[in-house]
A = this chain, B = another copy of it.
């Protein structure tokens, strides 16, 4: 009923934030957008337009507003920590776009603050956990059909990169998803990361090493390789094959109508992550809204701990990139609070 609608405040009105404003307004049941905060007030107004929400220049006004039951944070990662700490202090559920924070130390502070608060409030936006194919893959692993997992083969491809895209961003913005899906699919932590690369593509901008092959080791002895190729030219593609003791399962290889035309059979490759993961975003937000109305977080979603672990893996990944050596992932002991 309307008096139970979750009243959502959104912080960050960039491309992703504006998408989420529309999503909350048009697609998510039992939730409505009440405020959009962005230092660029015009952008905030634009995202709020037609949603019934007000615009604020100061994000902390949104966090502190009495009519805000829950928060979505879609501002740049560097701004996340103080926003998260304020939200935790106020005790409101937060769906925070990845990364939780840009580095593991600050992520750990968020983890500690949440733990101190004694209540699960923070959820990180690793939307692949809500993609129907990833969900099926996890189901196949969990129900034992494939036997114990041994190897993962992943590919993460973008048609091209925007100006200014760096090798580090390939880890922080892209492979971070594979760090999370690896941890989530297997229920294991990442113990080490290595990075190798072939000669770069002629299509890669100067200074960008592209493609790269990241190797992930887990505490359970699984080896995962990730091809990350952000100027592959032909579209957006995210693939994952899990190889187990009794079988293997692959997602993301193809899909959509099978077309016969001009001497070819096949189909179209999605242009970007929206086409591939649009349904996953909707599902993520809907389940978050249901959970947040009850004051909590969706247990399937990535927690603050997951955000911290991903940040630590990214740090190792960037170090491995820089040194060419295998980098161990250092994590504090997992608190019982997150088990």
Contact = CB atoms under 8 A, between A and B. Distances in A.
A97 interface: no
Contacts of A258: 249-251, 253-254, 266
A245 B1 contact: no
Nearest to A220: B199
Contacts of A29: 25-29, 31
A265 B267 contact: yes
A332 interface: no
Contacts of A221: 198-199
By CB atoms of chain B within 10 A, which of A145, A229, A232 has the most? A232
B257 A255 contact: no
B222 A234 contact: no
Given A25-B29, A150-B198, A229 B249 contact: no
Number of copies: 4
A42 interface: no
Given A251-B257, A261-B247, A198 B223 contact: yes
Interface string A267-294: 1110100000001000000100010000
A215 B223 CA distance: 13
Scoring A5, A235, A264, A269 by chain B CB atoms within 10 A of each residue's CB, the highest score goes to A264
7 contacts: A153-B227, A211-B243, A229-B243, A233-B245, A246-B261, A250-B257, A258-B266
Interface of A: 1-5, 25-32, 52, 132-133, 136-137, 140, 145-148, 150-151, 153, 155, 196-203, 211, 213, 215, 220-223, 225, 227, 229, 232-235, 237, 243, 245-251, 253-269, 271, 279, 286, 290
